[in-house]
Amino acid sequence: MQACERDASLAGIGFVFSADDPYCGVDLDDSIDEATRELKPWAQQIVDRLDSYTEISPSGLGLKVFIKASKPGSRCRKAYHDGEVEIYDRDRFFTVTGNHIASAPGEVNVRQESLDAVYAQVFGNDEPGTNGTPSASGGPQPSDSGPVCLSDDQIIHLAFRRRSSGTKFQALWNGDWNLHFNSASEADSSVVFTLAYFTKDAAQIDRIFRRSQLMREKWDQKHGNETYGQRTIANALKKVTKQYDPTKKRSVDPKPPSHIPRKIGFPNTDIDWDFRSDQTENAMAVEFIDGNQTILRYVPSWKKWLAWDSKRWKIDIDQSRTTRLARRLVRNYWDRMRAIQNEDQQEKWAEFCRRANRKTTIENVVSLARCDGRTTIDHELLNQNSYFLNLQNGTLDLSTSEFRDHRQTDSITQIANVAYDPKASCPKWRAFIDLIFGSDEEAKRYIQALLGYSCSGDVGEHILPICYGSGANGKSTLWNAIVELLGDYAMLAPSKLLLGTTNEHDTIIASLYQRRLVAISEPDEGSKLREARVKELTGDEQITARRMREDYWSFRRTHKFWLSTNHLPQINGTDEGIWRRIKLIPFRVDLRQVTKPIPDYHKLLVSEEGPGILNWLLEGFKDWRKNGFTEPQSVISETATYRGSADELGRFIADCCEVSPELVVASSELFDAYRNWGGQQSQTRFSIAMQSRFNCETRTFGRHRNKRVFEGCALSKVEAEFDEKQDEKE
């Protein structure tokens, strides 16, 4: 490039596309008007849809768009409108001029879905004589599609806007068949018959139907040699003899009037130029999704939109981005109105634009767009791979160590605050770990494996690590750094989530969705562990919750709780299920004695060594995957001591009872002695806890006749004498 800058005679640098790189080039020949130097409308639409680095070719009359994608078919070149489109991802070179279009992105973006749509728009089906790919589920095979070659999205768009049946088709597409038919099967046939009017390709009909809300298991059920879906499509193709003819109706890709100017970088909304001034809000909603279906998704159970930000599907919390896109649609209407030369027609357009520009109209368009099946997605289809870790520069598959570009099809909503660099190191972080754990190498390996495991969504290990120690021992720095690094995958939660008696709001539970590490820091002294809640939120059952203004929805657990405290919580139960989870990790070093405190040291560590700390976590994850957790002796002994001190009932038995198979004691006498000793449990809980250790029955003989007794223990002599003296005082 520097050589080109020095020598004006050089047109640019030749870049060769190959199978070994992720790049693809789209060449738009004769795409710039020679007289006006403006981008031709058909080319503007493609440039806007691909939304990636674009530059002017050496001829000055064409464009080259560079994207990260794979060409979806074998076709490479086709005359298109008054120009030509060429697409290559190997065995071809483009001359890179550096003459970048300012309105296009300055980086090469991942655009597989956009390329698929452009390819279908330009070439129709992949090869002459073939019409797409058979369904992966063994669905209908291709048949002759006739003279019309429309993409899936174009067919859906036409079916939605069909005057005779568009409203009904849209309702059926969204699963609302009850208003039109007595059964879902009749609705299936209606949708398939409509699709058969636009395409005779059985595989394409099958592919489109699977995107509708009518899709269910019945579609793939075998009936003889055919599935229900194959039979339904075959019946439609047999009976629907007519086919959509674009020469008799408005073209799917209409060419705008030549007098309407389009500047390079003009916002794309994919709106047909054949627009009527009596356009309804429902039709506007369809057009809104036409132009934004690649970057918007709607989650009905959350009542929220997701917007693709080039790295993940980000929840549009206040619907601001979705509303901005709808307002952009209206601004495009105004631009067209100003280009109309007929005064009467322009006034009709102006009246519509004023109506469309109202706040209520924009809100209604966005609200109606929620029902469009092209963008609705169930929350259970998001973030399905628990080993994908989404990072600032791509997505890492923890299970395979494969790192690749962000993909919309991964349906990921979370992202960490760090980029992946396999060569990055973290000397300061490792020195910090050495400082807080001293010479305990087992503890260092254990904490690294635990934290590495917590980077994944794997929840096979039912554990509750408790980091314990007096102040200034590095716990806060450790947690703040990890939470900062993991971004959306981690959170600091209030202590009432697992401790105390106050019930948390459902929104706190909902905030656990897709978290992988949840740190609870510094509970109050004397706080009791909510043992039932711990089991519920660290078990295998789905969790049900809701955010404000949402219905209840359920999600699978991906989070691991970590408790960081100076005061150990009270655990009254002896339930093995609780103690199996507890892992007490001691933090014994007083950092004030060995180093000078650095304010916000966790921020310094993440900013300077974030990628290196990530690699340290990945080492721990790999260690866990290969070897599991190896508990250090310090954790084993500290946990055992904690359990012993927390076992109130065990201490009562040791202090006040004798244990032997032949001994018997009345349950009422034992409970009275327990309360006199200082026990806090109710009689019911005390009785249940004792039954887990001693046999309990009702005696039918002797001095304990008709009394419930515990066999195998009795009050010691000292305790019995103490009870007698207490009785005498009373």
pLDDT tens per residue, range 178-197: 778 878 888 999 999 999 99
What SS3 class is residue 509? helix
Q: Average of pLDDT values for 584-594?
A: 87
In the sheet with 388-391, reading across from the earlier edge strand, the strands are 388-391, 394-397, 402-404
Q: Average of pLDDT values for 257-280?
A: 40
- Does 130 have pLDDT greater than 50? no
Task: Please name the amino acid found at residue 351.
Answer: E
- Does 304 have pLDDT greater than 90? yes
Beta-carbon contacts of 509 under 8 Å, excluding residues fewer than 6 positions away, are 537, 543, 544, 545
Cα dist. 679→11, 523, 712 in Å?
A: 89, 23, 21
- Does 480 have pLDDT greater than 70? yes
Q: What is the DSSP annotation of 556-617?
A: ----EEEEEESSPPB-----HHHHTTEEEEE----GGGTS---TTHHHHHHHHHHHHHHHHH
pLDDT tens per residue, range 328-357: 888 888 877 777 778 887 888 888 888 888
- Cα 53 from Cα 422, distance rounded (Å): 27
Q: Which stretch of DSSP H or E encloses residue 430?
A: helix 427-437
DSSP H helical segments within 174-280, as ranges?
184-198, 202-209, 228-239
Cα dist. 482→417, 450, 453, 455, 488 in Å?
A: 10, 12, 13, 10, 11
Most confident of 53-57, 348-352, 374-378, 443-447: 443-447
Q: Average of pLDDT values for 30-36?
A: 81
Range 75-82, long-range pairs (CB < 8 A, 24+ positions): 75/119, 75/123, 75/126, 75/127, 78/122, 78/123, 80/42, 80/122, 81/40, 81/42, 81/255, 82/30, 82/40
Range 16-19, long-range pairs (CB < 8 A, 24+ positions): 16/92, 16/93, 17/88, 17/89, 17/90, 17/91, 17/92, 17/93, 17/94, 18/90, 18/91, 19/89, 19/90
> Tokens 């600032």 sit at which residue?
392
Beta-carbon contacts of 255 under 8 Å, excluding residues fewer than 6 positions away, are 41, 42, 81, 273
- Does 715 have pLDDT greater than 80? yes
pLDDT at residue number 99? 85
657-666 and 708-715: which strand pairing?
antiparallel
Using left for φ > 0, alpha for ψ between -120 and 50, and beta otherwise, residue 31 falls in alpha
> Tokens 């897709």 sit at which residue?
514
Q: How far is CA 21 from the centre of its chain?
A: 27
Spatial contact of 421 and 126, defined as CB atoms under 8 Å apart: no
What SS3 class is residue 180? coil
To the nearest 10°, report the CA torsion of 379, 381, 386, 392: -80
Spatial contact of 216 and 183, defined as CB atoms under 8 Å apart: no
517-521 and 560-565: which strand pairing?
parallel
DSSP annotation of 530: -
Closest among 660, 285, 625, 601 to 449, alpha carbons compared: 625
pLDDT at residue number 132? 36
Packed helices 717-729 and 667-677: angle between N→C axes, nearest 10 degrees: 80
pTM beyond 0.75, yes or no = no
Closest among 373, 405, 410 to 388, alpha carbons compared: 410
pLDDT tens per residue, range 144-191: 444 456 778 778 888 887 877 888 888 888 888 877 887 888 899 999
Q: Where does the pLDDT of residue 124 fall: very low under 50, low under 70, confident under 90, or very high at 90 and above?
A: confident
pLDDT tens per residue, range 441-478: 999 999 999 999 999 999 999 899 999 988 788 899 99
Q: What angle do CA 347, 349, 353 make, to 5 degrees?
A: 115
DSSP H helical segments within 462-589, as ranges?
475-486, 506-510, 531-537, 576-579
Average pLDDT across the chain, whole number: 83
Burial grade of 237 (CB within 10 A; 0-12, 13-18, 19 or more): buried
The tokens for 537 are 């939120």
DSSP H helical segments within 136-227, as ranges?
152-161, 166-173, 184-198, 202-209
Spatial contact of 714 and 663, defined as CB atoms under 8 Å apart: yes
Q: What is the DSSP annotation of 345-406?
A: HHHHHHHHHHHHTSHHHHHHHHHHHTT-TTTB--GGGSS--TTEEEETTEEEETTTTEEE--
Domains of the chain are 2-123 (3.30.2250), 281-377 (no CATH), 427-645 (3.40.50.300), 647-729 (1.10.10.10)
pLDDT at residue number 3? 52
- Cα 670 from Cα 711, distance rounded (Å): 12
Which residue(s) pair with 570 in the sheet?
Answer: 528
Q: Average of pLDDT values for 375-390?
A: 94
DSSP annotation of 497: G
